[in-house]
Amino acid sequence: MGDDIEERLAAAAAALREHELTTRRVAELQRRVGAAEDELRALRARLDAEQADVHRLAGLTLGRLVASLRGARDDELARERAEAEAVRYRVTEAEQRLAALRAERAKARARQTRLVEARRVYEMLLNERERELAGTDDPRRTRLLELADERGRLAGEQREVTEALRAADPAADRTGRRARRGAARTIAGAR
């Protein structure tokens, strides 16, 4: 019976640790989603301003007539269009980052929900084990409980590190591809 309760206690401790880590992760993701939403709002406002500049230069206005007379209208229009396109690209990137953060947050919340009973189960098993050990004169009982708890927590941390490493590999790969594309654009622009 002792080994069974030890294994269940270690599993419950691991689930409790995972719940604690997931709760922190959800809070961090919530903060990052908020920041990404703020960034996207600012970029969209900037895009609206850039598009307004393009429309202003492309439309029939007094400013356009003056610019045409100076011969600078086409250059200004091309510059404004390029600026608008650059901001549109940044908006698209920000939308993708926000969508990825929201998806990650949703997964973390689902995981947190699955683990909501972790503390209650852990405490129930801990009480069961304490009652079991209380009926014996085993001098190791306190240490056994500590070790079962530590084993479960370490198993939870190991699982978290493994998942973080798995998640970091694709992110590092995407970052490397972006850097290579940026370098290729820089080289192509220098020609």
Per-residue confidence (pLDDT) for residue 110, from 0 to 100: 95
Per-residue confidence (pLDDT) for residue 58, from 0 to 100: 74
Q: How far apart are CA 29 and CA 22, in angstroms?
A: 10
pLDDT-based confidence at 92, cuts 50/70/90? very high
pLDDT-based confidence at 44, cuts 50/70/90? very high
pTM over 0.75: no
Alpha carbon 114 to chain centroid, angstroms: 19
CA atoms within 13 A on the CB side of 62: 0
Burial-class residue 99 by CB neighbours within 10 Å (0-12, 13-18, 19+).
exposed
User: Are 62 and 93 in contact, with CB atoms under 8 Å apart?
Assistant: no
Domain boundaries defined on the chain:
2-190
When mean pLDDT is compared across 14-23, 79-88, 146-155, the lowest value belongs to 146-155
Read off the pLDDT of residues 167-180 as tens digits, 9 standing for 90 and up.
Answer: 776 666 666 666 66
For residue 186, pLDDT over 60 is answered with no
Q: How far apart are CA 87 and CA 49, in angstroms?
A: 10
Per-residue confidence (pLDDT) for residue 161, from 0 to 100: 81
Q: Give me the chain's average pLDDT, please.
A: 81
Q: Which residue has the tokens 């190991």?
A: 158
Backbone angles phi, psi at 139, to 5 degrees: -70, -15
Read off the pLDDT of residues 50-75 as tens digits, 9 standing for 90 and up.
Answer: 998 888 777 766 666 666 666 666 77
Per-residue confidence (pLDDT) for residue 1, from 0 to 100: 47
- In the chain, % of residues over pLDDT 70: 76
